[in-house]
Amino acid sequence: MIKIENLHVVLGGFKLEIPRLEVRSGEYMVIMGPSGVGKTVLLHTIAGFIRPAKGRILIDGRDVTREPPEKRGAVLVPQNYALWPHLSVYNNIAYGLRLRGISEKEIKSRIEKISEILGIKHLLHRKPATLSGGEKQRVALARALIVNPRILLLDEPLSSLDPGIRWKSMEFLKKLHETLSFTTIHVTHDIIETMYLGEKIGYMREGVLIGVYEPGEFLNTEYAKPYIEIISKILGKKAYGHV
Amino acid sequence: MLASIEKTLLVFAGVLTIALFIIVAPILSLYLIVPPQGYTEFFGSNAQIFVVARKALMTSITAATAATLSLLALGIPSAYVLARTEFPGKKVIEAIIDIPLLIPHIVVGIILLLTFGPRGPINLHIMDTFNGIVLAMTYVSLPIMFDTLKIGFKTIDEELELVARSLGASKIKAFTTITLPLIKRNILAGSLLTWARAMSEVGSILIIAYYPKTINIVILEAFQTYGLKYAAILSAVLITISLTVFIALRMVYRE
């Protein structure tokens, strides 16, 4: 569980303000907002790469606001997945476990287990450069999930994928979450992703988290309105053959 | 239009050929002039000049290697800071780092002697010592190493390191396991260029540490005393060693 209270971040001329945000254990939170609104800054602040000007971040009840990233258990999956090109897929995934001093035997069995779930068993000895976008994403998820993060931070996890596999990938993420029920903050500018994956939905505008909503509730807000209008236009066209 | 573009390219390629000729012709003519027994003499003869030259060659190689290692130790942290952080005055610092490229090497010898010599404010015992040679080599090669490493760090996406940190790696652990291995080519290139630059240094060494003699000093002496005959043999050996190191390392790191 993660709790953010009255968080203020100042980066040059940019200001981020999160009055209050709570993600319960096992919950899939999607934070939506246009590009440049500060979503990545929020994730980097939770991960500990940016120090807030004020406010508190609590992870599983512990105040981590002043703790270094490696002590937080908040694992980041960046937009481009950031797989380490000099390591094989296996060694990418093993990295976090090796840091924890886990035996190679145990690492091997855990990697087998998670690569089974993620369908990447056949990729373990490949180098990241040889993987497709979707494969990279799965490897990045495996690398993050294998350490049982207290919170998983997904930065636009679908936006670098080709449209064709994006939808599949979205479905896959949902299933994966149903299987492993990790606590997640997923940030995106995409309404479809938001509505499909979010158990709770946060909306950000101009550096401020405006509010957190249930999916049904979010659809009725003014923020969802422009998207809903477009979608109903598309659906209307299809259903009635005219606009 | 297309034909004229191709004509231009042809002219440019001609210019490139001239440049290559300027580089390669002197090396080839050196190899043509020096007879094969020149090399056996260098490594086997007991003639005074070759005994001195072999010792000087070892001095040059060890000093250049020491300078390269000290520049790696200085360069890796410094270049990382310059590549990854923004701070006021950074441009000035970057300009300062390139200063050694601008100072004539004889002058480098003079200012090092003034500062770190026996009468300087900080006496580092550089006058006619091995350390003096290493210091001179380090000074003149510093920009090459620093700039090559900095370019390397800049090409590495910072998120690669951030992910490692979020997975539980300390800053130094993420640096040594992720960032450093990823710039190994720049480390190699920087070391190679630094080493070659250090091996060829003579101006500042003439001022600071004529002794222990480095190979360049011996070549200079041989040239002044006997003309081209011995100088050419020594030069051929030196070029062969440098080229061998250069080619060997390039092959090792080719994937």
Taken in order of first residue, the domains within chain A and their CATH numbers are 2-240 (3.40.50.300)
Which of A76, A85, A99 shows the shortest C-beta gap to B169?
Answer: A99
| Closest CA of chain A from B170, distance in Å | 6
Q: The tokens of B26 are what? A: 């002197």
CA B187/CA B245 separation, integer angstroms: 15
Q: Are strands A28-32 and A14-23 parallel, antiparallel or unpaired?
A: unpaired
CA B94/CA B87 separation, integer angstroms: 12
Looking up tokens 């291995």, which residue turns up?
B181
**Are the C-beta atoms of A110 and A98 separated by less than 8 Å?**
no
Instruction: Tell whether the model's pLDDT for residue A30 goes beyond 70.
Output: yes
Look up the ipTM and state it.
0.92
Phi, psi angle pair for B169, to nearest 5°: -90, 140
Read off the CATH number of the domain in which B195 is found. Answer: 1.10.3720.10
Q: Partners of A17 in the beta sheet?
A: A8, A208
Sorting pLDDT into bands at 50, 70 and 90, what band is B15? very high
Cβ neighbours, 10 Å, residue B73: 10
pLDDT at A243: 41
What residues of A are in contact with residue B160 (Cβ under 8 Å)?
82, 84
Phi, psi angle pair for A201, to nearest 5°: -130, 125
In chain A, what percentage of residues exceed pLDDT 70? 97
**CB-hemisphere CA count at 13 Å for B213?**
17
B197 lies in some domain = yes
In chain B, what percentage of residues exceed pLDDT 90? 89
Which of A47, A84, A100 shows the shortest C-beta gap to B166?
Answer: A47
**Residue type present at position B84:** R
B104 lies in some domain = yes
Q: The tokens of B230 are what? A: 């011995």
The CA distances from residue A94 to A124, B147, B155, in Å, are 10, 34, 25
Instruction: Tell whether the model's pLDDT for residue B1 goes beyond 60.
Output: no
B223 lies in some domain = no
Domain that holds residue B105: 61-215
B179 lies in some domain = yes
Nearest CA in chain A to B158: A82
Nearest CA in chain B to A74: B166
**A111-122 confidence digits (pLDDT tens):** 999 999 999 999
pLDDT at B2: 59
pLDDT at A238: 61
Mutate to test the interface with A, among B159, B166, B185 (most CBs of A within 10 A): B166
Which of B159, B166, B171 shows the shortest C-beta gap to A80?
Answer: B159
B242 lies in some domain = no
pLDDT at B155: 95
**B54-93 confidence digits (pLDDT tens):** 999 999 999 999 999 999 999 999 999 999 999 999 999 9
Q: How many distinct structural domains can be found in chain B?
A: 1
Instruction: Tell whether the model's pLDDT for residue A12 goes beyond 90.
Output: no
CA B39/CA B37 separation, integer angstroms: 5
The predicted model gives A209-219 an average pLDDT of 94
B224 lies in some domain = no
Cα maximum dimension of chain A: 65
Element (H, E) at A104: helix A104-118
* Range of lowest pLDDT (A77-86, A198-207, A221-230, B158-167): A221-230
CA B85/CA B192 separation, integer angstroms: 27
Q: Answer yes or no: do B162 and A147 touch at CB < 8 A.
A: no
Distance between the two ends of chain B, CA-based, in angstroms?
40
Q: Does B170 touch chain A (CB under 8 A)?
A: yes
Mutate to test the interface with A, among B156, B163, B187 (most CBs of A within 10 A): B163
| Closest CA of chain B from A75, distance in Å | 5
Q: Does B159 touch chain A (CB under 8 A)?
A: yes
